[in-house]
Structure formats: structure tokens, C-alpha cells
A = this chain, B = another copy of it.
Amino acid sequence: MSPPRTADDLYAVVLAGGRGTRFWPLSRRARPKQCVSLTGGPTMLQDTVARLSPLIPPERVLVLTGPDMAPLVREQLPDVPADNVIVEPSPRNTAPCIALAAVEVARRAGGRAVLAILPADHHIGVPADLRAVLASAREAALTTNALVTLGIEPRYPEPGYGYLQVGSEMGSWGGHTFRMVDRFTEKPDRATAEQWVEAGTHLWNAGMFVFTADAIRDAIREHLPETAMAMLELSRDPALLPEVWPQMTATSIDYGIMERSRHILTVPCDPDWSDLGAWPALTDVLPEVEGGAGLAQKVVSVDSNDCVVFAPGKAVALVGLEDCVVVDTDDAILVMARSHAQSLREVLERLDLEAPDLT
């Protein structure tokens, strides 16, 4: 794999507006998943920015987040210039965020500058592989003017993900092979996912995209014309954001653009990606401990297996437990069967009503 070249025109756009509830009680409304450390070290947001260096230094990292979270985001990213933290006036999903970022990048570096769209709350086990594929995707995006989506080699038939059906080969850049995307499919049934993974015809859509500011503007013009109008006004006067923001179509980049566009490229890659969608996923990234994986001062396990423990600073004893998640924070404890991770939502709904200080 070729080393990343100088790419002064490559900007990271980190989407950090998420409000996930799937890591309660560690994550909270005021401290969402991307702003916590799931592994004991830096937060996911900090990791997301740090792993881009030296390909994309902090001054070319833009972070999009909500008004209430912006102070925490700036605090966690002291090397990112404060005005690179761009505040979405209200939550309107990812397409308006990317439109806003595209206007900002074009204003700073022109329409041929390249945006790498990156979620703030995903795990990447091999950052060098991510940087290499981003560098290649930049070249592909500049050469073809296509929208590029990173395609993760699927490791198992996860029905909760989006899948890319891979088409014909379009060329190689930076040692990576790029192919057409024939179709996007969100959340297939399990049998379908199994078939795809076995046949090797599909990749996981990881929500990481690379394109020039001009290319995404053109795609938005075609598929989200109201958003394109708002972008035009914004590019004339950034101060108009509060007025034009509500005119942008509240939709995701996947649904609003990617699934409707015909000229999408993907590049298969495997930087040990995980979206760490819920507590059970930590098995893959936390150190092995007795009885499973976890982070704790000490774990002692008797007749226990496949548990996930998150209790930094405490000793945890697991006795006769299979497939459980144990999480401790200052004010709350979660003990959950792995198989019930989807039901954590119900806990949050209850707490919203009965003890909102805990959500």
C-alpha cells in the first residue's frame, strides 16, 4: 500500500452530533457516546481526530455538532481551531451537516478541495490503513469526480448494517481498487445478509465518504434541490445559517444522496472497523479479562463466560454468569443480558420520564 501523499486539499468532516443512548449509563445526553472513552484512553472523538494525523492535521479537521455539545467538543479537541467546530443550529440529520461542511470547505480551499466524511463514534483498529485508503479515495474522487464510499469487508452477516452491492471495477488509485456501487441496501434480513457475505458480493457501508466539494454540491443540487438553494445562499453569506438551516431537507446522506446517485464508487478496505453500536460490541476492542472482555481494576470470574465488564477503578466479581454486560458509573449500574442490548432503549425511555437526571 502506498504511503499517504501530501494532500493539503483534504479536509476531514467529523460528524459529532450523535445522541446515542446505547452506551448508557456511560454515555448521557450531555456526554454522548463520541465524548466518552470506551477503552480507558482518549474519547472516541479524540481518537477519530488523532488517527487522521499526519494525513489530515487538526487545522483541516472540521467537526459538526450541536450547540449544547460544542463547548465539550472544543474542550476535548484543543488542537482543532475553535472555529473548525461548526454548530448545527438544530438536529436535521447528516445531509444538511455535509452541505454545510461542503460550503465551508469550498470557501476555505475551493470547490476542488476534498471532504472525508467520518463519524465521530466508530472504532478503527488500524489507523494507518484508514489513512492510506483515505489518501487513495482522495485521488479517486479528484480523478473521477465521483462520490466515494468506503466499503468494509464484512466479517459476519450483521443484519443491522447498510450493505453496498459491488459492481464493475473502475480503476486503481494509491494501490486500492475502486469499484462501482450497484446498489445500497439498509438492514437486510438475516438470510439475505448471510447470502451476501458468503457470496462476497457486498460490503458494509460504514458511513465514511470521500468527495470533492463540487461533486457533493452537484449531487445535492440533483437530489436535494432545497438544500442546494440553501447552500448557495450560505456560500454568499455564512451569517445566513440560522435562516437557511431550516430550509435544508432533514435527511441522511445515505438516503438523501447515496441511494439515489448513480455514480458512486467504493473501495474495499479493512482497517479493523467497528461502529461499536452497543455494549456487546466492546468484546472486540476491550482487553481480554477473566470471564470475557473488559476494563476494570480487577476482574475475578468463577464459572462465567463471554461477559463485557466496564467498571474502571473497581474490582468486579462475576459468578456463574454467561453473556452479560456489567457497567458501573458514579451514579448508575447496568447489568444486561447480551441478547437484550436492544432493550436498553426501554430503560432510557423509563428514566426520561421518572429520573431524567440519569439520562
Q: A354: which B residues are within 8 A, CB to CB?
A: 298, 300
Q: Judge whether A318 is part of the interface by a CB distance below 8 angstroms.
A: yes
Q: What's the minimum C-beta distance from A194 to chain B, rounded to whole angstroms?
A: 25
Q: Is the CB of A314 within 8 A of B337?
A: no
CA distance A44 to B80 in the complex (A): 57
Within 8 Å of chain B (Cβ to Cβ): is A286? no
Q: Do A315 and B358 have beta carbons less than 8 Å apart?
A: yes
List which A325-348 residues lie within 8 A (CB) of chain B.
326, 328, 331-337, 339-341, 343-344, 346-347
Q: Are A316 and B300 in contact (CB under 8 A)?
A: no
Which of B25, B311, B333, B341 contacts A326, CB < 8 Å? B333
Interface residue tally of chain A, by bracket?
35 or more
Q: Give the residue of B297, B317, B333 whose beta carbon is less than 8 angstroms from that of A314.
A: B333
Task: Tell me which residues across on chain B come within 8 A of A24, comparing CB atoms.
Answer: 317
Q: Are B355 and A298 interface neighbours, CB within 8 A?
A: yes
Q: Is the CB of A319 within 8 A of B344?
A: yes
Question: How many copies of this protein are present in the complex?
Answer: 2
Is A320's CB within 8 Å of the partner chain B?
Answer: yes
Min CB gap A328→B, angstroms: 6
Query: Does chain B have a CB within 8 A of A72?
Result: no
Complex CA–CA separation, A297 to B311 (angstroms):
19
Q: How far is A339 from B303 in the complex, measured between Cα atoms in Å?
A: 11
Q: Are B320 and A336 in contact (CB under 8 A)?
A: yes
Instruction: Given contact pairs A321-B335, A326-B335, enumerate 8 new A-B contacts (beta carbons under 8 Å).
Output: A25-B317, A297-B331, A300-B354, A315-B355, A316-B332, A316-B333, A317-B336, A321-B337
Contacts of A346 in B (CB 8 A): 302, 319
Contacts of A351 in B (CB 8 A): 300, 315, 317
Given contacts A298-B354, A298-B355, A300-B351, are A343 and B331 in contact (CB under 8 A)? no
The yes or no answer to A350 lying at the interface (CB within 8 A) is yes
Residue of B nearest to A338 (CB): B320
- Quick check: is A105 within 8 A (CB to CB) of the other chain? no
**Quick check: is A267 within 8 A (CB to CB) of the other chain?**
no
- Chain B residue numbers with a CB within 8 Å of A298 are 354-355, 358
Which residues on B sit within 8 Å (CB–CB) of A302?
340, 343, 346-347, 350
Chain B residues in 8 Å Cβ range of A25: 315, 317
**Does A99 sit within 8 A of B, measured CB to CB?**
no
Indicate whether A324 reaches chain B with its CB closer than 8 angstroms.
Answer: yes
Q: Which residue of B lies closest to A330 (CB)?
A: B314
Contact surface of A with B, Cβ cutoff 8 Å: 24-25, 297-298, 300, 302-303, 311, 314-321, 324, 326, 328, 331-337, 339-341, 343-344, 346-347, 350-351, 354-355, 358
CA distance A339 to B320 in the complex (A): 8
The residue on B at minimum CB distance from A325 is B319
Distance of A357 from chain B, by nearest CB (Å): 9
Q: Is the Cβ of A335 less than 8 Å from the Cβ of B332? A: no
With known contacts A303-B343, A350-B300, A337–B320 Cβ distance under 8 A = yes
Q: List 8 A-B contacts (CB under 8 A).
A: A298-B355, A300-B354, A317-B335, A317-B336, A319-B347, A321-B336, A328-B328, A335-B335
Given contacts A302-B347, A343-B302, A351-B300, contact A315 B332 (CB under 8 A): yes
- Give bound CA distance, A32 to B24, whole Å: 34
Contact assessment for A331 and B314 in the assembled complex, using a CB-CB cutoff below 8 Å: yes
Residues of chain B contacted by A347 (CB below 8 angstroms)? 300, 302, 317, 319
Q: A300-B350, A350-B300 are in contact. Are A337 and B315 (CB under 8 A)?
A: no
